A and B are shown apart, each in its own frame.
Chain A
């Protein structure tokens, strides 16, 4: 069993597991941090961005002023943002049988994998994962396509040139494999390969392996996966949460008894408490509004935003923000809000019981109904006429490189009255802000990452007790910036097996048994005998049928009657057809009892001779020798086949067959 690791990003994993003749891809994460190296894509012409100076090396020998621009001491690529894809060279992607998706954030590279690689398999995901994943992809494509950029910068990717560039561009890895966003057509084609599954549904793969998603508690429809055969079990744990937010709670007990547990998607903010961050978010928001400023919240269109809106729903009245407009701007804002209300089955118990009333599970329905929250597909159109300040704007993309958020950065960045509050943990806020410097607006960093922290995960592992743990190498040492915090790493016995991008791990597995089914007819014919207390044995002779990786044992068919032919006369010369070979024998033949048995069968003249290892019995009348030893019996008998078979059967009475 092997694990191929195609992504180095611990929360956006992409691994391939080879297990019992199946090839299973676990998640398909797209590393979007690469876009931080690019200039933002403005929705309307930005004089500031277009006036940025081009970059020329200090000695003047390298001139890339068309491709690279400088802003506040950092260099950015002036081109459509590109993403760092999962490794494509490590194994042939067309051999992948299935892709298992754990949550909608971990499927963003799907079109790159399923299209143009020869992939012919199936993708498994839950319904919310598919629907919200589709929205996020649609949004990404929309963000990119509505501001097309003619120029495509490639010179800087030249190895010789990249080496001379200032950091962090210099240190960016695999830049020549970075790709632009996919098209909507590719998204549709990729998602048409998705097959929907429900929690705890057992999906058979080729009869060899069974996979099953479990609730992971992180987002709507998010799942961990169990990959198992009758005797081996691999658990794949990705983005999981033990906090009670909106999704169904995490199913922990089903992870028990794993041979291998692959652990990814722990919190990226191990020191930030989500509840505390939520409090800080609210108080900063209220403070800015009261002072007459605007609040910008860069966020994804699904996920934590539901919790933020719910928190605000309770907070608005008490903070006297009843008249402040809240705007949610995204091409998929409406869909995201609507979809969140129809997945009752995937929600926590509290929200489920609301649906029974029937009421919408999320209170943002009420915010919309009372006109406190308004959503728009973009800043163009209705929004521009209805927009009132001061206000709160939720919009994407959290990298601040594309989407409507770029416009608000340009609009509000210059005033210190305004505040930007970062809630998404995926991007360093300083890097995100770099191309907007110098900036007057206040910046508040409240990353809300509900995924498991190190304390929770070690408790979880103690409970579910996997034999081996595999995890990204980042989890086996404290973070670089906090190297003294030994509590911010995984300490396990035996130590976890670390992986990095391009690792190929041999998983420690010894498969020893496989499941077969004994057909009823054969089962009825078996004759078990007790060999030790509580242990019975039966010899089995059967025909093995293997079909679709399922094995069955059937009775040996009776040989067809020999057709009468000329050969009949010579039938004695036909060698025996061995149907059932004789079983192995075990035990010993006790002398006294054996002699008594012989006597019963009319053999009375027996001369017993003691030897080093046992006895030799001389049957004088029959001129036959029987050598009895602890672990063997030898019958020497000439020219008397009936006697020999009688003796054989008498000996067999004392022995166990197996």
Chain B
């Protein structure tokens, strides 16, 4: 399950609010006391973002908002907002009405919780407050699944939720732009798997179903009502059509029709092909798939039944499983991942005797098959996403530690970025190094760009000088002259004058010329002028010559410079004190 708290730029954001399917007690919900011991969560959280409608991502939401107490905004996409309350209610019914548990949220709480939801559109930049902005990207895991980019100032985080990098029969592939987040938080359910091609898996699946039907067996496919179910329905529907098969296919619970209706209305969230052809033929109107009734389970002859929930932990799928488990002709196909502790997980691990409630045991004789159809990114997909987003740090969640460790090594090696993998309840701190945005006066910028030329010269970087004015919250970078003017300050001129005596038996004019020539040869790259009024100017340093009254051969040089030319002025006075080289003409 997922429930992550991110603190970024002084904002606290909860990413997903999932529930653990393997537990039946308090441990199934996240430990919110971690955020605050007493008081409502509203004061501590700026927003909650739900990535998709699976219960391991949103199952604890009503518990958090209504029972612990949170009134701030909850963001999710339109399809998630539509489907999530149905799954929550479904789940509530199983737990409370069937199992008779207490201390659980009510129908009304689900409704109240959904009132706090703000729908999110793909690529829309939502300003949560003045500083915090979020943006959703297509994730392709289930209908309406999204990844989110969270930004505060120049710091940002991307949270993937669950995602899929290869388009399937009804959804497209996840996509994100080169947003270069400080941290990319990625799921890693299939951290070490590189799955064989989709087509092979589909062929395998169809072959197994077909064989079982041929020998008169019953096939149970435990699924969640929305998501993989629709993909497998499309697959079987086309196969039945092509092979002209007669064995009935059923879909349990009344949710099917409703679910398919959601797909029709949210067709813009499906893949390109379905979107293009939906006016002519809607892929979600099935001819061969009919609604299931509890009594059908005892009918003789082969059949295929899709039943919820997907991990065989409760409900109709579990009931049918119990009925069919004793016959080796039958088969159960687990099309997705099963959480530890569920019956699904146990039988996939080869357990053949199950302890049921009330101390009875169940012998599992039917064939158990696992087909990875759940749409998570595999190792290749995760690497692909890193390449897309170019994060500075990587954080892996929602996976098994050993596998994550392997992937972490690979990521660090290939992208040379830091990769973290915190356990539940653990905190990771990532230090960012944000740059400071400043307003530069256009005059200064243009002057600098004109001087710098069109292409930067790496060997001779030009240095720009200016004054940064910090006033209230604004940062303005202007030229020093403009800064003086804007702040109403007077300039203070600091000047230095220095007399240097020189032995040079020439006329004053000649001496001046000799100085000029000498400086020309020493100071390369400076502007040196011999002015008609009898001065030499080096940049803005003035040099004058006069003869000493006592000795016409002793010349007195007068150097005058301003503080801004201090380095050069000081250099010149030292240089000229040493006299002029004799070789000068």
Contact = CB atoms under 8 A, between A and B. Distances in A.
Interface of A: 127, 197-202, 212, 230-231, 334-335, 338-339, 341-345, 352, 355-356, 358, 360-361, 511-520, 523, 526, 528, 531-532, 534-546, 551-553, 556-557, 572-573, 575-576, 578-589, 630-639, 641, 644-645, 648, 651-652, 655-656, 658
B492 interface: yes
Contacts of B102: none
Given A338-B279, A648-B496, A512 B456 contact: no
A369 B90 CA distance: 30
A575 B520 CA distance: 11
Contact of B464 (A537, A553, A582, A587): A553
Given A342-B264, A536-B469, A648-B494, 15 more contacts: A342-B265, A352-B119, A515-B439, A534-B472, A535-B487, A536-B470, A537-B468, A539-B468, A543-B462, A543-B464, A575-B523, A584-B564, A631-B493, A637-B497, A637-B498
Nearest to B268: A342
B435 A584 contact: no
B435 A198 contact: no
B567 interface: yes
Given A531-B489, A540-B466, A344 B265 contact: yes
Interface of B: 78, 81-82, 119, 121-127, 135, 154, 258, 261-262, 264-268, 278-279, 433-442, 445, 448-449, 452, 456, 461-472, 476-477, 480-481, 483-484, 487, 489-501, 522-524, 526, 563-568, 570-571, 573-575, 577
Contact of A575 (B82, B480, B495, B571): B571
A231 B468 contact: no
Contacts of B500: 638-639
A553 B435 CA distance: 9
A635 B496 contact: yes
Given A127-B268, A200-B126, A534-B471, A556 B279 contact: no
B464 A544 contact: yes
Contacts of B501: 639
B490 A200 contact: no
Contacts of B448: 544
A581 B465 contact: yes
B436 A544 contact: no
A269 to B, nearest CB: 32
Contact of A588 (B468, B476, B492): B492
Nearest to B565: A582
A573 B262 contact: no
Given A517-B435, A537-B467, A200 B125 contact: yes
A513 B463 contact: no
A298 B570 CA distance: 89
Nearest to A213: B124
Choose among B122, B491, B563 the residue with the greatest number of A CB atoms under 10 Å from its CB: B563
A537 to B, nearest CB: 6
B435 A514 contact: no
A174 to B, nearest CB: 38
B467 A198 contact: no
B113 to A, nearest CB: 14
A198 B123 contact: yes
Nearest to A584: B480
A342 B275 CA distance: 10
Contacts of B493: 585, 631-634
19 contacts: A212-B125, A334-B279, A345-B121, A355-B265, A358-B82, A515-B440, A537-B470, A543-B463, A546-B452, A557-B461, A576-B571, A578-B568, A582-B563, A585-B493, A634-B496, A636-B498, A648-B563, A648-B566, A652-B494
Interface of chain B, main secondary structure: mixed
Given A338-B278, A531-B489, A513 B496 contact: no
A342 B495 CA distance: 77
B414 to A, nearest CB: 26
A638 B279 contact: no
A102 B265 CA distance: 24
A583 B484 CA distance: 11
A586 B490 contact: yes
Given A230-B439, A544-B452, A198 B522 contact: no
B554 to A, nearest CB: 14
A543 B461 contact: yes
Contacts of B577: 639
A576 B568 contact: yes
B119 to A, nearest CB: 7
A342 B567 CA distance: 73
A230 B445 CA distance: 15
B258 A539 contact: no
A658 B467 contact: yes
B172 to A, nearest CB: 13
A520 B567 contact: no
A645 B567 CA distance: 11
A540 B465 contact: yes
Q: Ordered nearest first, which 8 A-B pairs have the shortest CB separation?
A: A632-B493, A517-B435, A513-B439, A536-B470, A198-B123, A638-B499, A584-B480, A356-B82
Contact of B436 (A200, A518, A572): A518
Contact of B573 (A517, A573, A641): A641
B454 to A, nearest CB: 10
A394 B535 CA distance: 93
Contacts of B497: 634-637
Contact of B441 (A512, A519, A645): A512
B266 A641 contact: no
Given A575-B571, A648-B496, A658-B483, A546 B82 contact: no
Given A515-B437, A575-B571, A586-B490, A537 B469 contact: yes
A572 B154 CA distance: 47
A541 B441 contact: no
A566 to B, nearest CB: 16
A352 B278 CA distance: 20
Nearest to A349: B119
A355 B82 contact: yes
Nearest to B570: A641
A200 B526 contact: no
Given A551-B440, A641-B573, A580 B465 contact: yes
A573 B125 contact: no
Nearest to A556: B463
Given A544-B448, A631-B493, A515 B467 contact: no
A384 to B, nearest CB: 23
A519 B437 CA distance: 9
Specify which of A199, A201, A231, A342 lies most central, judged by the most chain B CB atoms within 10 Å of its CB.
Answer: A342
Given A536-B470, A542-B463, A576-B571, A231 B439 contact: yes
Contact of B484 (A518, A584, A632): A584
A360 B575 CA distance: 90
A634 B495 contact: yes
Nearest to A572: B574
A576 B445 contact: no
Contacts of B568: 575-576, 578
Contacts of B491: 584-586, 631
B440 to A, nearest CB: 4
Residue among A198, A230, A231, A526 facing the most chain B CB atoms (10 A cut-off): A198
Contacts of A651: 494
